[in-house]
């Protein structure tokens, strides 16, 4: 067994270290996966004391999102939530701030709304907010009530307490005593008058009685009249009954209409033919029936709908990025340029097409074996030649693996994305050949502004042809919508 | 009056000595930066130093990380049990390891192993006049001797820290879950709840800085050795002491800036 080279040992160690780092960041970054892609919903609370950014949002104790931002709006707290895309919230859900654990961590509990109700659109606001039982507020209110009670009792004590209060109550009682005494004396002194009053009242009732007795006959007459009226009513009802009988027997116009059998038959016929028509439709006879009953119609409709749907979502998912990248190789004092199109049909996979202008040019190797069995090899550097990049790639959380044609030779690459994709560490290996070392390249990209990246690294660092060079440079990357619709073959108006 | 002025003189000279030394370290640092930019860098030299600083320190760092994680779990458990929060032990250890102990202990171990060796190696070369020989051969010793060591340390100490963090948390898990019977799910979940990606990354930034400190100080001390074998010994000791103190002190300021 040959001895392991220094490079191999270091490489193995770096690999192990990177794997451990990747594992830890993935494990730690795992929470909130899915939530990142979710949609925003706003809630307004009176008071969010204790609630933090990234606090949990739960339904029935299951985490469905996180607090993305807390803003002040018109003296109230506007809380922006990010909800997992797989969870839909009905329009009448209600939100409340709840407390959990001994340490009093706050989270937002969402109570589901009515099933089947329209869902909240991204960016909408949750209308129902449960006021939290705020101990501070409760104590404030109780203390306000206590203050009121205190003023009342204070006034009372002002009125009643003290010598003045006692005196006035004493006076009050004395007055009352005098009043009852006066009433008593009034009754006693007017005894005769009261007695005559009672006598008058008795006389009045006697008179009334007499009036009623005298008019007895007239009352009887009124009752008689009433009886007559009721007799007339009876007659009217009898004639109504006669008319009904006539109709029943088929006499008169209405009677004929009701009693004639032909009417009924006609009606029956009409209903029967209606039934027939609907049966036919049901059985799939006739044009209408075919249209309605044919499974194919439904299938066709379904297919075309889902086709349209798929097309639209594909076009929506489809993203294309254009990129330019310039590297200044300081050992060579030369500029190496890359122009790339990255087509990303799905979130986690992409195709990369690109052109590379390498100052070294393109190497063409020709083996020429004439009859003498002596192979002559000619190597030609075409300075103006362009190199090609054709790669496929897939992303696993923070790690992007890609492979294909790198700078016109077979190879593969690996990117590690950190700091929310603002930092990209890249390792590429290509140009594997028996007569020279593979072309290895490592570099880091840092996002400076939205589209501008700073880059630096080491190109071809194990080269045995004196090609090794460090470089610094910049790259511009942006998303292109027009190109995307061009690529999905049909222009869709936006 | 004479003893008074003599003691003032002594204090002044000592202060000036340290200020000068700091200045010289910074000058060396800038010339390292300068030579780092000059091609060509020999990949082979850097790999050799990477192996020495990184690969050969794995065993020490793994042991340090493992036992730190384990002992913190054991101590934390007794404290947290007082108010029934044993499940928080894991997250405490994880936070402590990733933010502070991982980078600091790793770089202290690397200082002791590799920083001292750098000082001794360069010191020996200095006193045996090999460095002067390099000058004679028109090869810049900073570029050939120091730059590879600094690059290797800056790259390797963060990687060793990753290993220490992982092993420390694994050790904590072993002690907590297997020996102290803390609920496994709560233990793990609390780690995920408390630990942020930023904790890990900031620890690695610290580690890279410490790697820079220990290699620059070690090389400076070795490079400026005087006085034969005894001088080499002194240089080594001073390199370890100064690096360790600088690491511990700068850790406080880095923490204050980062969190």
Q: 280-339 in A: which are within 8 Å (CB) of B?
A: 330-331
Taking CA–CA distances from A23, the nearest residue in chain B reads B166
**Cβ <8 Å between A470 and B39:** yes
Identify which has the larger pLDDT, A256 or B243.
B243
Span A247-265, average pLDDT: 68
- A121 in Cβ contact with A75 (< 8 Å): no
B196 contact residues in A (CB cutoff 8 A)? 28
Q: For residue A103, is pLDDT > 90?
A: no
User: Before A469, cis peptide (omega within 30)?
Assistant: no
Distances (CA, A) of A250 to A240, A243, A254, A257, A261: 16, 11, 8, 8, 11
Rounded to a whole number of angstroms, the distance from the CA of B20 to the nearest CA of chain A is 34
**Cβ <8 Å between A331 and B39:** yes
Q: What angle do CA B195, B198, B202 make, to 5 degrees?
A: 115
**Cβ <8 Å between B58 and A13:** yes
Span A179-186, average pLDDT: 86
Instruction: Give the pLDDT of residue A491.
Output: 47
Q: Tens digits of per-residue pLDDT, A272-325? A: 888 887 887 777 666 766 666 667 777 877 888 887 777 766 666 778 888 898
Taking CA–CA distances from A467, the nearest residue in chain B reads B40
Percentage of chain A modeled with pLDDT above 90: 3
**Cβ <8 Å between A31 and B50:** no
Closest to B193 (Cα-Cα) out of A417, A37, A54, A83: A54
Going by the DSSP 8-state scheme, the letter that residue A131 receives in this structure is P
Closest to A391 (Cα-Cα) out of A425, A360, A430: A430
Q: Tens digits of per-residue pLDDT, A440-476? A: 889 999 888 888 898 988 888 887 777 788 888 888 8
Q: Tens digits of per-residue pLDDT, A341-395? A: 888 888 788 898 888 888 776 666 777 777 667 777 777 777 767 888 899 999 8
Phi and psi dihedrals of A133, rounded to 5?
Answer: -75, 95
Closest to B91 (Cα-Cα) out of B203, B197, B194: B194
Distance between CA atoms of residues B245 and B214, nearest Å: 10
Distance between CA atoms of residues A353 and A469, nearest Å: 25
**Cβ <8 Å between A418 and B201:** yes
End-to-end CA distance of chain A: 65
Q: Which of A8-12, A430-434, B111-115, B250-254 has the lowest mean pLDDT?
A: A430-434
Instruction: Give the pLDDT of residue A372.
Output: 66
Taking CA–CA distances from B160, the nearest residue in chain A reads A17
Instruction: Give the pLDDT of residue A235.
Output: 81
Q: In which band, very low, low, confident or very high, does the pLDDT at A86 lie, cut at 50, 70 and 90?
A: confident
Distance between CA atoms of residues A244 and A109, nearest Å: 70
- B148 in Cβ contact with B89 (< 8 Å): no
Closest to A351 (Cα-Cα) out of A291, A404, A285, A425: A404
Closest to B170 (Cα-Cα) out of B87, B92, B75, B94: B94
Q: 112-171 in B: which are within 8 Å (CB) of A?
A: 159-160, 162-163, 165-166
Best interface-test mutation with A: which of B36, B44, B47, B205 has the largest number of A CBs within 10 A? B47
Instruction: Give the pLDDT of residue A494.
Output: 44
Closest to B28 (Cα-Cα) out of B207, B222, B210, B211: B222
What is the pLDDT tens value at each position of chain B, 259 positions in all? 677 888 888 999 999 988 998 899 999 999 999 988 887 778 888 899 999 999 999 999 999 999 999 999 999 998 888 887 888 898 999 999 999 999 999 999 999 999 999 999 999 999 999 999 999 998 888 888 999 999 999 999 999 999 999 999 999 999 998 888 888 888 888 888 888 888 889 999 999 999 999 999 999 999 999 988 999 999 999 999 999 999 999 999 999 988 7
Q: For residue A251, is pLDDT > 70?
A: no
- A67 in Cβ contact with A53 (< 8 Å): yes
Taking CA–CA distances from B190, the nearest residue in chain A reads A28
A195 alpha-carbon distance from chain centroid:
89
Nearest CB neighbour to A330, from listed B39, B43, B195:
B39
- For B114-150, letters b (16+ CB in 10 Å) and e give bbbbbbbbbbbbbbeeebeebeeeeeebbbbbbbbbb
Q: Tens digits of per-residue pLDDT, A22-48? A: 888 877 765 545 556 788 888 888 888
Percentage of chain A modeled with pLDDT above 70: 85
Taking CA–CA distances from B91, the nearest residue in chain A reads A28
B181 alpha-carbon distance from chain centroid:
35
User: What is the DSSP annotation of A66-77?
Assistant: EEEEEEEETTEE
Distance between CA atoms of residues A310 and A306, nearest Å: 6
Reported pTM: 0.50
Q: 215-254 in B: which are within 8 Å (CB) of A?
A: none
Identify which has the larger pLDDT, A264 or B140.
B140
Residues facing residue A25 across a β-bridge: none
Nearest CB neighbour to A20, from listed B37, B43, B166:
B166
Span A211-218, average pLDDT: 73
Closest to B28 (Cα-Cα) out of B238, B237, B216, B231: B216
Going by the DSSP 8-state scheme, the letter that residue A118 receives in this structure is P
- A387 in Cβ contact with A374 (< 8 Å): no
Phi and psi dihedrals of A233, rounded to 5?
Answer: -55, -40
State the virtual CA torsion across B242, B161, B152, A473 in degrees, nearest 10: -120
- List % helix, strand, coil for chain B (3-state, nearest 5): 90, 0, 10
The reply to whether B55 touches chain A by the CB within 8 Å rule is: yes
């Amino acid at each position: 067994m040959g001895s392991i080279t220094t490079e191999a040992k270091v490489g193995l160690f770096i690999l192990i270290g990177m794997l451990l780092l990747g594992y830890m960041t993935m494990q730690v970054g795992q929470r909130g996966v899915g939530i990142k892609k979710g949609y925003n919903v706003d809630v307004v609370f009176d008071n969010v004391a204790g609630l933090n950014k990234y606090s949990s949002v739960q339904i029935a104790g299951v985490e469905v999102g996180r607090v993305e931002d807390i803003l002040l709006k018109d003296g109230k707290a506007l809380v922006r939530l990010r909800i997992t895309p797989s969870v839909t919230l009905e329009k009448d859900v209600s939100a409340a701030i709840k407390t959990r654990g001994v340490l009093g961590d706050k989270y937002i509990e969402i109570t589901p709304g009515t099933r089947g109700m329209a869902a909240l659109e991204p960016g909408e606001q949750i209308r129902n907010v449960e006021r939290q039982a705020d101990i501070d507020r409760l104590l404030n209110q109780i203390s306000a009530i206590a203050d009121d009670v205190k003023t009342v009792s204070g006034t009372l004590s002002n009125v009643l307490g003290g010598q003045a209060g006692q005196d006035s109550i004493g006076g009050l009682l004395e007055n009352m005593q005098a009043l009852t005494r006066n009433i008593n004396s009034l009754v006693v002194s007017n005894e005769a008058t009261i007695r005559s009053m009672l006598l008058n009242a008795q006389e009045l009732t006697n008179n009334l009685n007499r009036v009623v007795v005298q008019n007895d006959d007239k009352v009887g007459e009124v009752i008689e009249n009433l009886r007559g009226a009721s007799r007339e009513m009876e007659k009217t009802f009898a004639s109504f009954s006669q008319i009904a009988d006539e109709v029943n027997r088929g006499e008169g116009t209405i009677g004929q209409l009701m009693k004639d059998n032909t009417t009924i038959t006609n009606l029956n016929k009409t209903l029967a033919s209606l039934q027939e028509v609907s049966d036919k439709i049901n059985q799939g006879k006739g044009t209408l029936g075919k249209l309605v009953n044919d499974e194919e119609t439904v299938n066709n409709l379904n297919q075309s709908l889902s086709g349209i749907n798929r097309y639209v979502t594909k076009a929506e998912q489809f993203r294309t990025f254009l990129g330019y990248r310039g590297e200044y190789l300081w050992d060579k004092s030369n500029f190496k340029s890359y122009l790339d199109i990255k087509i990303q049909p799905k979130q986690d996979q992409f195709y990369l097409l690109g052109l590379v202008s390498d100052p070294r040019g393109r190497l063409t190797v020709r083996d020429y074996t004439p009859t003498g069995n002596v192979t002559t090899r000619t190597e030609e550097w075409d300075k103006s030649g362009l190199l090609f990049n054709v790669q496929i790639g897939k992303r696993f959380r923070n790690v992007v693996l890609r492979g294909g044609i790198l700078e016109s030779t077979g190879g593969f690459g690996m990117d590690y994305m950190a700091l929310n994709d603002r930092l990209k560490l890249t390792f590429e290996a290509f140009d594997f050949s028996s007569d020279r070392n593979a072309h290895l390249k490592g570099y880091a990209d840092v996002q400076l502004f939205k589209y501008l990246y700073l880059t630096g690294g080491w190109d071809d660092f194990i080269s045995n042809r004196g090609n090794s060079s460090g470089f610094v440079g910049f790259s511009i990357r942006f998303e292109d919508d027009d190109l995307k619709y061009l690529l999905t073959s049909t222009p869709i108006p936006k | 009056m004479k003893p008074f002025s003599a003691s003032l003189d002594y204090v002044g000279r000592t202060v000036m000595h340290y200020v000068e030394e700091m200045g010289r370290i910074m000058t060396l640092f800038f010339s390292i930066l300068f030579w780092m930019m000059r091609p060509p860098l020999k990949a082979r030299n850097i790999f050799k130093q990477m192996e020495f600083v990184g690969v050969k320190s794995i065993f020490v760092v793994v042991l340090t990380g493992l036992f730190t994680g384990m002992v913190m779990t054991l101590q934390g458990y007794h404290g947290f049990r007082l108010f029934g929060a044993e499940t928080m032990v894991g997250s405490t250890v994880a936070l402590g390891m990733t933010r502070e102990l991982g980078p600091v202990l790793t770089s202290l171990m690397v200082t002791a192993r590799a920083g001292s060796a750098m000082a001794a190696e360069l010191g020996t070369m200095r006193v045996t006049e090999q460095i002067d020989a390099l000058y004679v051969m028109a090869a810049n010793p900073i570029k050939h001797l120091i730059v590879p060591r600094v690059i290797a340390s800056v790259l390797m100490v963060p990687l060793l820290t990753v290993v220490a963090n992982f092993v420390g948390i694994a050790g904590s898990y072993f002690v907590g879950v297997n020996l102290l019977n803390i609920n496994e799910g709560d233990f793990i979940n609390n780690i995920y709840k408390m630990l942020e990606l930023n904790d890990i990354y900031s620890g690695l930034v610290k580690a890279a800085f410490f790697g820079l400190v220990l290699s620059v100080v070690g090389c400076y001390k070795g490079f400026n050795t005087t006085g034969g074998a005894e001088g080499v010994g002194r240089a080594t000791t001073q390199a370890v002491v100064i690096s360790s103190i600088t690491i511990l002190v700068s850790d406080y300021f880095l923490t204050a800036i980062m969190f």
